[in-house]
């Protein structure tokens, strides 16, 4: 954890956004929390990164962050990828906030497409970067129509889509952004997290906030909320499993990324959650390729 002193000269307002923008986002957050799973529109601003790089998540974080927070940012589970490092440095600079890679130490965790393996706690806020907040968009292109479908709870089309998947593949083939039902009322996109993470959305002690910058939507799942991944009685919801263990830490229950190592097809499976994997290795756990040179990469400073 590195603390950043307050800088005497500042070129932007605290946490980058102006106060009126923060108030507008804060009001949207309160309504999103009051109506779990509902997509509240907000006046998304231009940010110093392009759409698709986390502008929604950055704006949510900017609206809630304070100097006492400890900030963690992950991209596909990893703390040490370009996008995560850049956004973490951004908030260290504009919000004088301490940053960390340790899941348990953070008060705000901004994430792109994963939920950390380690269970979250009360007092933590998980901020999701969302490219497409509308779960029905692939089935119905018109916003006016999808908004009416949410208003009147017309979700038959979504079930038809899942049924067609079963008819075509013999199982529900969707693996990321698997549709969820919030408190049996609103259909919600969990953002493109793997369906492996869907069970962590429900009854989570932390506040889950979702921000889509280009699409200008904020939605939320409050703590201890019922979240159901859609399925059929004869095709129940299942998460991914792997035959391999993590090659570096030996974890059997984490979400694994497949890494191709050379041109001859050599490959390894490693935890996508880099902090989870590093903590396990520090605790003495070792996988079959524990000494591999890739394992040394976590020494890189963030």
Partner 1 sequence: MSALLDLADIAPAFPDPTRGSQAVFRKVMEAMARPGVIHDLGFAPDAPQGLDRAAGAVALTLFDFETRIWLDPSLRGGLAEGWIRFHCGPPLTQDPMAAAFALVTDLASAPPVAAFNMGDAKYPDRSTTLVIQLPSLEGGPQVVLTGPGIKTEMPLSLAGLPDGFWAQVQANHEQFQFGVDFIFVAGDRVTALPRSTRITIKGD
- The answer to whether residues 148 and 77 touch, using CB atoms and an 8 Å cutoff, is no
Residues 6+ apart with CB under 8 A from 250: 280, 285, 286, 287, 288, 290
* Phi/psi of residue 127, nearest 5 degrees: -105, 120
Q: Please identify which of the residues 211, 277, 287, 291 carries the catalytic annotation.
A: 277
Is 73 noted as a catalytic residue in this protein?
A: no
Indicate whether 48 belongs to the interface with partner 1 (CB under 8 A). no
Q: Which helix (H) or strand (E) holds 75?
A: strand 70-75
Pairing of β 180-182 and β 227-229: antiparallel
The stretch among 165-173, 218-226, 258-266, 293-301 that binds partner 1 (CB under 8 A) is 218-226
Q: Does 22 bind partner 1 (CB under 8 A)?
A: yes
Q: Active-site residue 249, yes or no?
A: yes
What is the three-class DSSP state of 83? Answer: helix
* Tokens encoding 231: 């399925």
- Smallest gap from Cβ 277 to partner 1, in A, equals 30
Q: Coil, helix or strand for 44?
A: coil
Q: Which residues between 240 and 299 bind partner 1 (CB under 8 A)? A: none
Q: Does 20 bind partner 1 (CB under 8 A)?
A: yes
Q: Minimum distance from CB of 240 to partner 1 (Å)?
A: 27
Closer to partner 1 by CB, 222 or 250: give it.
222
For the annotated catalytic residues, the residue numbers are 37, 246, 249, 271, 277
Residues of this chain that bind partner 1 (CB under 8 A):
13-15, 19-20, 22-24, 26-36, 38, 40-41, 63-67, 122, 147-148, 150-152, 183, 185-186, 203, 205, 207, 220-226
């Amino acid at each position: 954890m590195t603390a950043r002193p307050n800088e005497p000269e500042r070129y932007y307002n605290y946490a980058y956004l102006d106060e009126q923008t923060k108030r507008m986002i804060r009001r949207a957050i309160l309504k999103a929390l009051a109506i779990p799973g509902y997509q509240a529109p907000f006046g998304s601003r231009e940010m110093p990164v392009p759409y698709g790089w986390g502008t929604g998540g950055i704006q949510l974080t900017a609206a809630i962050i304070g100097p006492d927070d400890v900030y963690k940012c992950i991209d596909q589970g990893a703390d040490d990828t370009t996008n995560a490092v850049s956004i973490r440095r951004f908030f260290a600079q504009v919000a004088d906030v301490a940053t960390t890679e340790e899941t348990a130490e953070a008060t705000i965790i901004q994430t792109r497409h994963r939920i950390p393996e380690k269970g979250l706690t009360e007092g933590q806020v998980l901020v999701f970067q969302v490219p497409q907040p509308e779960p029905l968009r692939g089935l119905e292109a018109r916003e006016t129509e999808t908004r009416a479908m949410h208003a009147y709870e017309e979700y038959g089309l979504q079930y038809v889509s899942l049924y067609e998947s079963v008819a075509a593949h013999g199982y529900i083939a969707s693996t990321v952004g698997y549709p969820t039902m919030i408190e049996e009322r609103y259909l919600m996109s969990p953002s493109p997290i793997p369906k492996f993470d869907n069970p962590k959305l429900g009854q989570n002690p932390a506040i889950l906030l979702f921000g889509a910058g280009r699409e200008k939507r904020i939605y939320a799942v409050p703590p201890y909320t019922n979240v159901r991944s859609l399925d059929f009685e004869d095709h129940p919801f299942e998460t991914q499993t792997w035959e391999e263990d993590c090659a570096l830490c030996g974890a059997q229950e984490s979400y694994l990324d497949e890494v191709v190592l050379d041109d001859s097809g050599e490959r390894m499976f490693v935890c996508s959650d880099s902090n989870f994997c590093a903590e396990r290795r520090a605790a003495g756990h070792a996988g079959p390729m524990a000494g591999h040179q890739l394992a040394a990469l976590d020494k890189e400073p963030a």
